[in-house]
Each structure stands twice: as C-alpha cells, then as structure tokens.
Structure 1
Amino acid sequence: MAELHPLLQVLLLQAGYNTIVVMLGAAALGAATGVVGVFAMLRRRALVADAVAHATLPGVALGFILAVALGFSGRNLSFLLSGAALTAVLAALSIQWIANRTRLTEDTAIASVLATFFAFGIVLLTVIQTLKTGGQAGLDIYLLGATAGMLREEAITLALFAIAVALIVALLFKELTLISFDADYARAHGFPVRLLDLAILALVLVVVVIGLRIVGLVLIVALLITPPAAARFWSDHTGRMTVVSGAIGAFSAYFGAAISAISPDTPTGAVIVLVAFFLLLASIVFGTARGLLVRAIGARNLRRAA
C-alpha cells in the first residue's frame, strides 16, 4: 500500500500525539479569532486590535525579565502572557485617553501608541540579549509564531481559552450584533453600548494574548480580520457570517499548523495567514452572497430580463 504524503498524514491526525494536540489547539484559536473578528470588523476596531497586538511585545519582554529576576525560567508562559496582557490593556487605555482628552483623531492616537509600545519592546528585547541567562532565543516565536516545541499543557490551555471566548460571544451575540449595526438605536433602548464595546475590546485582548504563541504578534491581527472579511462574501446574516468566519479561521490555523509541523523552520503565523488569505481570494470569487461570480451571473440575468 502506498504511503501517504507527510502533509496528508498530519492532516488526517496520523502524526505524533503532540503534533495532533497542537493542531487542534491552533484550530480552536482560529475559530475564536474568526468569531471575535466579526465584531471587531463590524465595529471598525481592526486598527485598535493591531495596536494592541504590537503593544504585547514589551509585555512579553517584561514578563521574561521578571521571571528571571524571581528565579523562574525566562520562558515561563504565565509570566510572558501576563506581561503581554498588562501592556495590551495599557495600550488600549492609552488610545482611549488620547482620543477622548485631546484633539487628536483616533487613528493618530492608535499610530502613536502602536509605534511607542513596539519601540519600547524592541529596546527591552535588546536589553534581554545582554542578560546572562538562557531562553532569550525562544522569544522570537512571539513575533512570528511557532508550534514546534509547544508543550501539551500550553496547547490545551490555549484551546480552553479560545473555547471560553467563543462561549462568551454566544452569550452576548444578540447585544453585540445590535451595537455592530446600529449603536444609536441600542443606546436609545437602554443597551450599555460603551460596556459592550469594552467587551469586544476585552475579547480582542484575550484572543491576541492567547494567539501570540501560535501566530505571533505581527500577524495575529490578520487572523482576526481575514476570516471575517472572507465570511462577508458568503453571507449577509450575522449569525451565519460568524459561523463561516469561525470555520475559515479554524481551517486556516489547522492547515497552517500542519504545514509548520512538517516544516519546523517555516514561521507558523505566516503560513496560517497565507492560508487564510487564499481562502479570502476564493471567497471573493466564489462567495454565494457577494462573490464576483455570483454578481456576474446576477448582472447577466438582469440584462437578459431587460
């Protein structure tokens, strides 16, 4: 019997146990980013998500330094992700404060915060390279993502966080949908629009932080936005769009992680995002709601009817 191609073996879960766990964890993350990304896109929070993602770099570096100072391994996941979450929250609050308390536009505030936090992170990474401790080489995975070497406990933790995010979206789905399309109507009928906006931002923060290990801070925003963008070509209904977006995100992460598993030197995040982008291109052409092919057929039918 002919042996299956290595990639097909991995996709069919015929690889090692750790590889399977990582791929399933990546798929869960992809589903969560796809679901959360729908509301980030509809509420036009993509740029904020980008700034928040880049703001995690100094947090990762500070987490490394603190872990080493306290006698732990510099790559301790709890310290790294806690630091990333802290600086991400600080970045989000900084953007909000600048936009509300100054005459600068939100875009300007976002650009300023993004550049400042990212530059601070680069400086801290340079400082870390001078420390006489091990583990510095592993920090680059938080820039571009990596699955090689991920522990089973890490993958399970990421999957659980991703599932929790999806459940929260399901519980708040009606309210999030309402403010995404008509915030003024929601506010007039007593819905806490500001609080719901903060909930969306909090979900983005969580997804960004848990996605650092797999996709990396540079490309996590692409995984937040590309699946929802693709899903819009398949449905105009928010519920169906959310499901499709989650499915595209899950498949992109699963397939990208599989490629990374057979080619460990390939940046996981880049591969996942490329898979998502190719699915976006396919959606633009073949999407049943707004695809170019459907629109061309509809236009031709209209001309014939005329």
Structure 2
Amino acid sequence: MESFFDFFTFSDPNVRYVVLGNILLASSAAMVGAFILLQKKALIGDAVSHAVLPGICAAFLFAGSKHIGFMLAGAFITGWLALITIDYIVAKSKIKKDAAIGLVLSVFFGTGMVMMTYIQQSGNAAQSGLDHFLFGKAATLIGSDLLIFSILALILLIAVGLFFKAFALVAFDRPYAEALGYPVRKLDLLLTSLTVLAVVTGITAVGVVLMAAMLITPAAAARYWTNNIRRMVWIAVAFGAFAGLAGAYISYTAPAMPTGPWMVVVSSAIAFLSFFFAPTKGIVPKLYKQYKNQRTIAEENALKRFYHLGERDGHFPVPRAMDELIDAGDVNAPAVKAALQRLTAKEFVVAEGHQWRLTEEGQLRAARVVRLHRLWELYLTRYMHIAADHVHDDAETIEHIITPELERELEYQLGYPERDPHNAEIPKS
C-alpha cells in the first residue's frame, strides 16, 4: 500500500521523472501516429524508429559522451534523412513504397548496429548504457530529460493544433486538399518531421526497436471507438498516456520489469480489447449485431409465411401447423420453431395447441414485410428495368432493412401502387 501511495503521489523525484516522461512521450507519439495511421503510412514509423540508431551513434562519437541533446539531434537528422530517402527511391525508381521502406530500414539499422559495435569495442568508458537506446530504459530519466521531453511534446502539440484541419483534410481526401490550394507536399514534409520528432522523443524510454508500436498502436485502437477525427486523436492520446503510466507503475512495483516493453504490452492490450469490444466497430459487437439481424430476418420471414398462407386460402388469421409453415418457406423445423417462440414472446403470434396464429399486431407486421417486398420488386422492374422474374431474391434481402422514410419515398415515387409486377396485391399500410 505504501508503494502504491508513493507512486501515485509522485513523492519520489525519480518516480516523478519517469512517470511524467513516459506520459509525455507516449501521448505525443500517439497524437502524431493518428495522422500517420489515417494516411496509411504505419510502416513509416517503423522505418523512422530503426533509422535513428546511426544518428545516436554518430552523436556519441561526435560528443564523446551520452549527451541527450546531441543524441536527440543526431536521431532526428538520420530519421528525417531516412524518410526523405524513401520518398526519393519511390519517386525515382520502380521500387514500391513498402520495398523502399524495408530497404532503407535495413540499411540504416544495420549501419547503426555496426557503429554501436565499434563504439562498444572502442574502450570508451562513456559508452556504458548506450545499448539502452535499442530497447529503452525509462528508469534512467532525469530532470533535464523531462525538460527536453516537455519542450518536444509542446512543439508537437502546437504543430498538430495549428495544422489539424489541413492534416485531416489531406488524410481523408488528398485530391480535394490539392484542389483547394493546400500545400500538400509541404504538409507531408511537416508531418514527416513531426513523426521523426515523436519517435526521437520516445527512444530514451522505449528504444528504437519498440517505438513504432507506441506511435501506431494507440491510434489504431482509438480508430475503433469513433469516426470523428478530433475525438480519435484525443482518445489515442489518452490510450498512450495510460500505457505510459501503467508501464511506469509495473516497473516501479517490479523493478526487474523494463518500463518500455511494458508500455508496449499495455498499449497492445488496449488495442486488443478495442479490436474485439469497441461498441460499434469491435468484432464481438459486430458479431452480436449480425446475430440479432439474422434472428430478425428469421422472425419476419416466419410472419411473411403466415401472410402468404392466409392470402392463398383467403382467411386471416387462421391457426397454422408447423408443417404448413415449413412447406411455405422451405426451411428446417428447428429454425421455424425458434422463430415462433420469439414471436410468441413478442406477442406477434399466439400458440393454440400445436398450431400458431397471428395476433392483430403480428398481422400488421407481416403485412408490412410483404408490402416492402412487393414495393421493392415494383421499383426494380419500373426504374431499374429488371425482368419481373429476376427481382424476388433482391427483394428478399432488402425488405428487412427498408426504413419508414424509404418506404414513404418508394410509395411516392411509384405513385402509391396497388399491385406488384406479378399482379399480386400490395398490402395497405
């Protein structure tokens, strides 16, 4: 309990630096990552995160020590050069962008590993801990690091805020942005620079290998929760900040656990939950909605069979046996029985021994389904010029999703018809 209290009150200065540093780097990376994701440039983050390694090593060789300012500057330069190189290769050759990204990523990262090996074998005592830039070590953050992170995060926040509308427009409709006169190429260059800056901000804590995950994963998770880009960005920032806080807490309570990898694990867990359980776009809600739609279709088809049998015999509403309902729709008995039980619970059908009969409300519902089916058949034959014997299957599908507004519009367009293309009577509303 004492450690829990110490952590969340930030009573230890080292804890304060680690927590605030993690939150700043994770949230600022997620903010930029949202636009990278929307522009379908997710692999760019991976390329940048690997390409900064030679810049870090070059800065160390230049300064002779692990000066954080020099290292971040070196990382920014090589990361930015990597993206420029990718664009140049794509523009001047027949190599596709994904191949160019893989090529540049491999060359830059390989160069960085060679340089790091040279530094480690050089005997320079100052190189101790340089390998932490590969996988990160948030526990080494100090007050001056936090100041640098705060400045970089503020730059990212201001830049995204100023160019938010332009970035969003380019992400969703690039040709339209060009037609409006937006400097699309310059905006691409600015977003490229912000991407590099976001990666550079996080390499100290997360490392070059895992930083791409912190750039893209919170944004990918946020995409499942909203269609509004502004809300998506803020949700991504919140997910990134939570991942930073959770990673710091786990490493605080279990010192052997590295902060950076746990930030990625927490962020991935959030993404996993979002992919499966986000209210409208998650896999589970979609499957549940599909299941409900299938049940509704089965129920409406059962009601429609009642109507067709009554129309054939000229009697509404006469009790019907299971065999009649099965033969009328050519379906299996368990499916019909399950639909009838649900319709009974909704008071559209009443059971009379081993037979079922439509209630007054059920008859109105059945008539509406038949009505929509026949209106759509007539629309297809009259306006789409489809033969009358080819419209049934399409009408079977769409009759279940026609809204009252569309129903009224169909009636108006068709002139309030009384007969369908097969000369069957269209039930009145």
TM-score by length of 1: 0.92
Counterpart Cα distance in 2 of 1:163 and 1:118: 28
1:65-84 pair list within 5 angstroms: 65-68=61-64, 74-84=65-75
User: Which AA in structure 1 matches 2:210?
Assistant: L
1:172-191 pair list within 5 angstroms: 172-191=163-182
Larger relative contact order (CA 8 Å, sep ≥ 6): 1
Partner of 1:198: 189
Counterpart Cα distance in 1 of 2:104 and 2:76: 15
Displacement of 1:265 in angstroms is 3.6
Partner of 2:370: none
Partner of 1:151: 142
SS of equivalent residue, structure 1 residue 12: helix
Displacement of 1:93 in angstroms is 1.5
1:252–1:272 CA contact under 8 A, matched in 2: yes
Partner of 1:23: 19
1:28–1:163 CA contact under 8 A, matched in 2: no
Count of residues in correspondence between the two structures: 297
Gaps of 5+ in 1: 69-73
1:41 aligns with 2:37: yes
Counterpart Cα distance in 1 of 2:191 and 2:140: 32
User: Which AA in structure 2 matches 1:42?
Assistant: L
Partner of 2:215: 224
Displacement of 1:289 in angstroms is 2.9
TM-score by length of 2: 0.67
1:145–1:216 CA contact under 8 A, matched in 2: yes
User: Which AA in structure 1 matches 2:235?
Assistant: V
1:273 aligns with 2:281: no
1:227–1:249 CA contact under 8 A, matched in 2: yes
Relative to structure 2, which stretch is displaced further, 20-29 or 117-126? 20-29
Counterpart Cα distance in 2 of 1:138 and 1:262: 23
Displacement of 1:293 in angstroms is 3.1
Partner of 1:261: 252
Displacement of 1:45 in angstroms is 1.6
User: Which AA in structure 1 matches 2:176?
Assistant: Y
Given candidates 16, 25, 32, the residue that maps to 2:28 is: 32
Counterpart Cα distance in 1 of 2:123 and 2:17: 34
Partner of 1:71: none
Partner of 1:214: 205
Displacement of 1:233 in angstroms is 1.3
1:30–1:250 CA contact under 8 A, matched in 2: yes
Given candidates 82, 88, 97, the residue that maps to 1:97 is: 88
Relative to structure 2, which stretch is displaced further, 135-144 or 12-21? 12-21
Q: What RMSD over aligned residues (CA atoms) do the two structures have, in Å? A: 1.6
Relative to structure 2, which stretch is displaced further, 289-298 or 111-120? 289-298
Given candidates 233, 237, 247, the residue that maps to 1:246 is: 237
Displacement of 1:182 in angstroms is 0.7
Counterpart Cα distance in 2 of 1:270 and 1:62: 25
Displacement of 1:85 in angstroms is 1.2
- Alignment CA distance shift 1:37-1:284 (3 Å): same
Counterpart Cα distance in 1 of 2:284 and 2:113: 45
1:236 aligns with 2:227: yes
Counterpart Cα distance in 1 of 2:54 and 2:255: 26
Counterpart Cα distance in 2 of 1:200 and 1:242: 15
- Determine what percentage of the aligned residue pairs are the same residue: 35
Relative to structure 2, which stretch is displaced further, 154-163 or 26-35? 154-163
Residue by residue, what CA displacement relative to the aligned partner does 1:93-146 show, whole Å, maximum 9, x if unpaired? 111111111111111111111111111111111110122321222112111111
Structure 1 runs of 4+ aligned residues shifted over 6 Å read none
User: Which AA in structure 2 matches 1:257?
Assistant: A
Counterpart Cα distance in 1 of 2:7 and 2:218: 20
Given candidates 117, 121, 138, the residue that maps to 2:108 is: 117
Displacement of 1:266 in angstroms is 2.6
Partner of 1:162: 153
Relative to structure 2, which stretch is displaced further, 228-237 or 263-272? 263-272
User: Which AA in structure 1 matches 2:120?
Assistant: Q
